[in-house]
Structure 1
Amino acid sequence: MAELAGLEDPRIRAVNEKHGDDHGVNLGRLRALAKRLKTQQELSRGLWETQDTAAGLLALLICRPGAFERDELDAMVREARPPKVHDWLVNYVVKKSPHAEELRLAWPADPDPVVASAGWALTTERVARKPDGLDLAGLLDIIEAEMKNAPARPQWAMNHCLARIGIAHEEHRARAIGIGERLEVFKDYPTPPGCTSPYAPVWITEMVRRQHDA
């Protein structure tokens, strides 16, 4: 904890706080520290229990994803309020856990928007990597019915799932684009030059074009 405190940079904190992340540690330096520590599950648990954001990020880099029980991961995702901690927890730990599929099924309907967004992130991963057995048409039904009025974080995750279905599955592409056009979610999202809009019809069309050009 003392070493993490020594890495604190007020300028980095000011930037991160604009995105809801209350820490001021350069992530490159954080990863270098994790590389030095290597995997240490008990240290990871101790760091997580401090509820300090930088310590939580370090904890996720040095843990063993398969060592967490299902209920432990459920509790952790409910504790992970800063967006960066939530993102790393889902991507670096939950997706690699043997409990990922069970949690993918349980979380999307959770009343906590942060938990629901984690469930949709896990579904997006399956859409892209292991779609066999998924009811893609059924997922599009849910997205069409719920995304427009969903809270911000699950709305973002559902939109990502919509785009991924359209990008990866040609047979559902026209419907995915049509849903995006009707709902108009993120249609006017401010997008920097050179970046792809999160508006699903634009996102899908651009990524498919890149695949064809590759």
Structure 2
Amino acid sequence: MGDTTVAEVLAELAALEDPKVRAVNEKHGDDHGVNLSKLRAVAKRLKTQQDLARQLWATGDTAARLLATLVCRPKAFEQDELDGMLRGARTPKVHDWLVNYVVKQSPHAEALRLAWFADPDPVVASAGWALTTERVAKGPAGLDLAGLLDVIEARMKDAPDRLQWAMNHCLAQIGIDHPEHRTRAVAIGERLEVLKDYPTPPNCTSPYAPSWIAEMVRRQDA
């Protein structure tokens, strides 16, 4: 499939468009109507094609950009290129997949984390916080966890939704993975009450940090 063209892929994605899927996605701010399992099947067939990924991203089409994150070679992007891509990724799913499937696999992840963390654009900053949460979980050496809790305590309550969500995830991750900070993390969550009333289906873990921390620690200790 090395000679697949952008036009062929866009035609295939258009054929997969489902109005019901689009209606559900639009409630979450995502403007595409392609079932993600079907999108992943297309990616699996195409395999890794960096040039095609860049061309798909350049279309600006949400489904094409999601596909681009699955067929690209994350380590092939330059830091400035990823920065520009992130700043142009305005729908939640594209932003999420770009951070999780591409930036986290990039040798530039730490430099971008530092660049984005305090960015004045809350959507960009949320990516910095997502990368910080990854560090909290997998590589906390060198992070000032108490300092992160200070920032969360001061700013999370009034942060815009996407940034608030990312900060809350970081708060929970600190509480889950670092027992020495757990009591304070829970106390911050209880005082701020961010996402306390978030509708959570049965058998799912609430994103409310004190509940989330308690459940994950219970599983670790089980």
Specify which of 176, 188, 207 is matched with residue 179 of structure 1.
188
User: Aligned letter for 1:93?
Assistant: V
Specify which of 128, 136, 143 is matched with residue 145 of structure 2.
136
Specify which of 18, 21, 46 is matched with residue 30 of structure 2.
21
Cα deviations by residue, 1:13-46 (Å, 9 ceiling, x for unpaired): 1111111111111111111111111111111010
Provide the rounded CA distance (Å) in 1 between the counterparts of 2:177 and 2:206.
17
Provide the rounded CA distance (Å) in 2 between the counterparts of 1:23 and 1:91.
19
Query: How many residues were matched structurally?
Result: 213
Stretches of structure 1 lacking an aligned partner (at least 5 in a row)? none
Match of 1:125 in 2: 134
Structure 1: which 4+ aligned runs deviate by more than 4 Å?
none
Match of 1:209 in 2: 218
User: Aligned letter for 1:30?
Assistant: L
CA RMSD in angstroms comes to 0.8
* TM-score after normalising by structure 1: 0.98
Provide the rounded CA distance (Å) in 1 between the counterparts of 2:193 and 2:19.
38
Specify which of 158, 161, 167 is matched with residue 158 of structure 1.
167
Shift of 1:165: 0.2
Shift of 1:11: 1.1
Q: Does 1:62 align with 2:56?
A: no
Q: Does 1:147 align with 2:156?
A: yes
Cα deviations by residue, 1:150-184 (Å, 9 ceiling, x for unpaired): 11111100000000000000010001001111111
* TM-score after normalising by structure 2: 0.94
Shift of 1:187: 1.4
Matches within 5 A, 1:30-109: 30-109=39-118
Match of 2:202 in 1: 193
Cα deviations by residue, 1:72-96 (Å, 9 ceiling, x for unpaired): 1111111111111011000000001
**Secondary structure, aligned partner of 2:117:** coil
Provide the rounded CA distance (Å) in 2 between the counterparts of 1:66 and 1:181.
40
**Secondary structure, aligned partner of 1:133:** coil
User: Aligned letter for 1:183?
Assistant: L
